[in-house]
Chain A
Amino acid sequence: MNVRASMVVLMAAALLAAGCGDKGQNYTELTPSSATAANPSELPDHQTPPDRLVFRLQIKEGQVTPTNKQFQAAVGQPIIIRVDSDAADELHVHSNPEHSFKIEAGPGQLFQFTVDVPGKVDVELHELDKTVATITVR
């Protein structure tokens, strides 16, 4: 768990550094809209988009978007959830074994995990008691 958490932090840090130079907690997008000076470390993201599943999760005034969204993923494929939240919560990924991430109030939090056992994996917000998405992992 700690290793994973620190990996997520490291990754977030790397992506932040590679991003638009905004030093705050704001990380704008994984795919920056400005086309200035391609950063080599970003290229793999663009060239092999199917290699990872990325989706956004927004929590605003108790409202969650999306809910009950369906995704497909492959076993071992990195899955990244980008969370913008205005409240602390807990993100539970019901895979085997389970993953759990602490969400804090703030934009641009990145959580990455992989699922190694095929199945339908629910991603849920614990405090708000909402199913964000179901990822069918084959």
Chain B
Amino acid sequence: MNPVGSVTVVAHGLGGSADLPIPLTYALIGAAWALTFTFAVVALAWKRPRFDPDKPGRELPAWVTTAVDAPVTRWAVGLIGLAFAAWVGLAAFLGPQNSENPLPGVFYVLMWVGLVAASLVLGPVWRVISPVRTVHRILGGRSLRSYPEALGYWPAALGLFAFVWLELASPDPGSLAAIRNWLLIYLVVTLAGAFVCGTRWCARADPFEVYGIVVSRLSALRRNPDGCIAIGNPFDHLPSLPVRPGIVAVLSVLLGSTAFDSFSARPQWRTFISDTAGSAATATLIKTAGLLVFAGVVAATFWLAARATGGVDRQQRRALPGQMAHSLIPIVVGYVFAHYLTYLIERGQQTVYLLLGMDGNVNYFLSLHPSVLSTLKVAFVVAGHIAGVVAAHDRALRLLPKAHQLTGQLAMMLVMVGYTFTGLYLLFGG
């Protein structure tokens, strides 16, 4: 029926329906809260920085750290990850070559959205389950040279863009062949990188690991300076995001692509594509350009807003976008959950059933209760926004000279309000 390796062409390559748009009143209430809170924070909140990445959290019992760090645990979890990858790989090649294949669900739901949820709750889990790291370790863990520091997170930003390109711009995101090729290239590049540059390649250039690291900074679980696992205020954890070249690009790709995903479901855009593009290749080009524009606008506005302050010298100004980057994390996470919550929960169940070869019934609780879903979506977006504003405010107090603290924050706050309004507008569906 279907040509081999080709499944239904749909957004996300997963099939099924998309979420209903949120009602206008929900969007307006969310927007009002976001706006009010933002200016309340800038004008009325604390005037001295409160959050400190060096502040230790409350230590969990020592056996937790011992158990988590035990080589047995590391090896066991790593091997489970590897076995899982092998299983999915087998299913991808030998399983049914149609929509019964679990690969798209594993790829677009478990790896992309599930990773965010897991990293938020547990911390950077990809580091432990990454099949590439496990293979590298099994084969002796050697490397030829060290990672070129100047590359920073740029390879990961590229990898993340390659992922969202496949999902949102490529001609057939649901095609098993396309996903298999993407994953094979990912494996080859990441394995080669690990053998040449060591595991630091995984930490800086593996898109999934970097995504996990970024999200894990919003987690309550963290490590104290002595390595002990502790629980603490996520706002103390956020500023510990390593500032390296490309970090703003990583976050911009994540936020911009999620917004583009909302945007590209609009009928006007779809009509424009089908009227303008004569062929699948042209359509892909237009969508690629759209994706680049969205990520580029996020990057440019954030970069400009972070630099728009008085009283700093050139060098300091140059460093500001990176030093503020962590404040985008809650906005990204909030928007990802608002956008992909039903995917995670409903398609996630479907994927697990497909993986196990079971014939289970998916529980559509969220989709069946649109007002609950809309409330959750607005709550995620607004909570992410508020957390982003709080983090940016606190960091501005630490970085900006006293005389420019109020005005220096304004551009950033306006940009964040802009992101949130755009996000709510896109969820509302225009």
Interface residues of A (CB under 8 A from B): 67-68, 70, 90, 92, 94-98, 115, 117-122, 124, 126, 129-131, 134, 136-138
Contact = CB atoms under 8 A, between A and B. Distances in A.
Interface residues of B, number: 26
Interface string B1-37: 1100000111100011111110000000000000000
Interface of B: 1-2, 8-11, 15-21, 99, 265, 267, 270-271, 274, 280, 346, 362, 364, 367-368, 370
Given A67-B274, A68-B271, A118 B370 contact: yes
A90 B17 CA distance: 18
A119 B367 contact: yes
Given A119-B18, A134-B267, A94 B10 contact: yes
Nearest to A135: B17
B54 to A, nearest CB: 47
Nearest to A95: B17
Contacts of B9: 124, 126, 129
Contacts of B271: 67-68
B16 A129 contact: no
B306 to A, nearest CB: 36
Contact of B274 (A68, A92, A95): A68
Contacts of A97: 16
Contacts of A130: 274
Residue in B8, B16, B17, B280 whose Cβ sees the most chain A Cβ within 10 Å: B17
B17 A126 contact: no
Contact of B368 (A68, A118, A129, A131): A118
Contact of A98 (B1, B16, B368): B16
Contacts of A67: 271, 274
A124 B8 contact: yes
Given A94-B15, A119-B19, 19 more contacts: A67-B271, A90-B1, A92-B8, A94-B17, A96-B16, A96-B364, A96-B367, A97-B16, A98-B8, A115-B17, A118-B17, A118-B367, A120-B18, A120-B20, A122-B10, A122-B11, A124-B9, A131-B270, A136-B21
Nearest to B171: A129
B201 to A, nearest CB: 38
